[in-house]
Amino acid sequence: EPLSGRSFDLQDYYTRPEGYRSRFEHNLPFLTVLVNCIYWAPQYPRFVTKKALQALWRREKKPKLQVIGDISCDINGSIECTEKMTTPDSPTFVYDPQTGVIKDGVSGSGVVVMSIDNLPALLPRESSLFFSRSLKDFLPSLARADFSGRLEDCLLPEPLRRATILFRGRLTPEYAYLNRHLD
């Protein structure tokens, strides 16, 4: 929300993020699990701050919030208590909002944080097989597609066309907004 009290303006937020703060922290007392996978850059407000977690732990004897799955895995980023990346062999740590101390595992006072940076690569075999079977039906159309012209004319099935982020080295119109995040 704007610090000035004005109404929210998306373009202003993108150009002047320092003039905004996150309102999400008001939801923390009602959550048991938080899964975060938003894009974040240092100039933007944090989604969940250490200060907000500390206030929650001070206010409530046993807060509902037990687990944060930080899929984005930005160290000290949108979820400020993500202080390190975890691994498949040691997937979690406990962040104690009262002391700021982290401890590997799931035991201790605080919130359990999972921040495996390559989590999507860990899809189970069953999921991989399911997705492979689902995509198999698109292979003939993909093989027949003519990529020499425009994306709209290349004869890709609609789901593949909508999912295309880059075409011939350029972001597609639906994903052009990503340009502002590229160096």
pLDDT in tens, the chain (183 residues): 999 999 999 999 999 999 999 999 999 999 999 999 999 999 999 999 999 999 999 999 899 999 999 999 999 999 999 999 999 889 999 999 999 999 999 999 999 999 998 877 777 778 888 988 989 999 999 999 999 999 999 999 999 999 999 999 999 999 999 999 887
* Domain count of the fold of the chain: 2
**The pLDDT value given to residue 96:** 97
**The pLDDT value given to residue 131:** 86
Other beta carbons within 10 angstroms of residue 47's beta carbon come to 21
Q: CA 104, 109, 115, 116 torsion: positive or negative?
A: positive
Q: Is residue 3 part of a domain?
A: no
Q: Give the domain range for residue 116.
A: 10-120
Shared-domain flag, residues 114 and 127: no
Please state the pTM of the whole predicted model. 0.67
**The pLDDT value given to residue 121:** 73
Q: Is residue 2 part of a domain?
A: no
Measured CA to CA in angstroms, residue 137 lies from 77, 90, 96 at distances of: 40, 38, 48
DSSP SS3 for 9: coil
CATH number, domain with residue 37: 3.40.50.720
**The pLDDT value given to residue 1:** 92
Selection from 90, 141, 134, 143 nearest residue 112 by Cα: 90
Tell me how many degrees the CA angle 2-179-5 measures, rounded to the nearest 5: 5
Is 2 in contact with 19 (CB distance < 8 Å)? Answer: yes
**The pLDDT value given to residue 174:** 92
**The pLDDT value given to residue 122:** 76
